[in-house]
């Protein structure tokens, strides 16, 4: 079975290029993980959580709101669980699950089902990466076409990366 701790460590290490176990999460620009992560950080800081308690609670936010929603504990492959967890961390769980379902030819409900888990536990990792990766690329291309459609008024554009606001990376 996949383990949350490993997936969370991989997420932090990939995004921030730091060892997740040696870093104090409250000192990292957690907004890079997406809007939800930034909101969780602010809520925890405003509630007065610091240091070790902050790290534990932030991890728990991810475990409860992403990992458990994906039912990742039931996935046998750590690599497949990691891939879904990372994508869901940015794109939200229902979008990640729906994209996974569409790319794997499963009924697209946006909610992880027993059928989805069973399929993820028999598909080989290379096939999963190929199909899910193509789906993510296709979705990104679709978003770019929509957002840069010249027929749309400029005020209708949403920023592709909302985190790239002045001063947001400091």
Query: Whole-model pTM?
Result: 0.76
Phi, psi of 61 (to 5 degrees): -60, -45
The Cα–Cα gap between 4 and 46 comes to: 26
Positive or negative: CA dihedral 60, 62, 67, 70: positive
Q: What percent of the chain has pLDDT over 70?
A: 79
Q: How far apart are CA 163 and CA 166, in angstroms?
A: 9
All domains in the chain, ordered by first residue:
4-150 (1.20.141)
Please state the rounded mean pLDDT for residues 120-148.
Answer: 77
DSSP state of 24: -
Identify the band that residue 164 occupies on the pLDDT scale cut at 50, 70 and 90. Answer: very low
Q: What is the mean pLDDT of residues 19-41?
A: 78
Q: What number is the average pLDDT over the span 56-62?
A: 89
More confidently predicted of 137 and 115? 115
Which comes out higher in pLDDT, residue 70 or 161? 70
Tens digit of each residue's pLDDT (9 = 90 or more) over 63-95: 999 999 999 999 999 999 999 999 998 888 999
């Amino acid at each position: 079975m996949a383990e949350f701790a490993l997936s969370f460590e991989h997420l932090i290490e990939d995004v921030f290029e730091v060892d997740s176990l040696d870093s104090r999460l409250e000192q990292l620009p957690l907004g890079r993980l997406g809007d939800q992560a930034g909101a969780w950080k602010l809520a925890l800081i405003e509630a007065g959580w610091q240091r070790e308690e902050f790290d534990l609670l932030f991890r728990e936010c991810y475990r409860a709101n992403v990992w458990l929603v994906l039912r990742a504990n039931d996935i046998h492959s750590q690599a497949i669980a990691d891939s879904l967890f990372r994508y869901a961390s940015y794109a939200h769980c229902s979008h990640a699950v729906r994209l996974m379902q569409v790319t794997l030819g499963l009924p697209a409900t946006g909610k992880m089902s027993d059928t989805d888990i069973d399929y993820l536990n028999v598909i080989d990792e290379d096939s999963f990466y190929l199909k899910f990766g193509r789906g993510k690329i296709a979705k990104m291309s679709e978003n770019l076409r929509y957002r840069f459609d010249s027929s749309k008024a400029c005020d209708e554009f949403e920023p592709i990366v909302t985190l790239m606001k002045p001063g947001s990376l400091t």
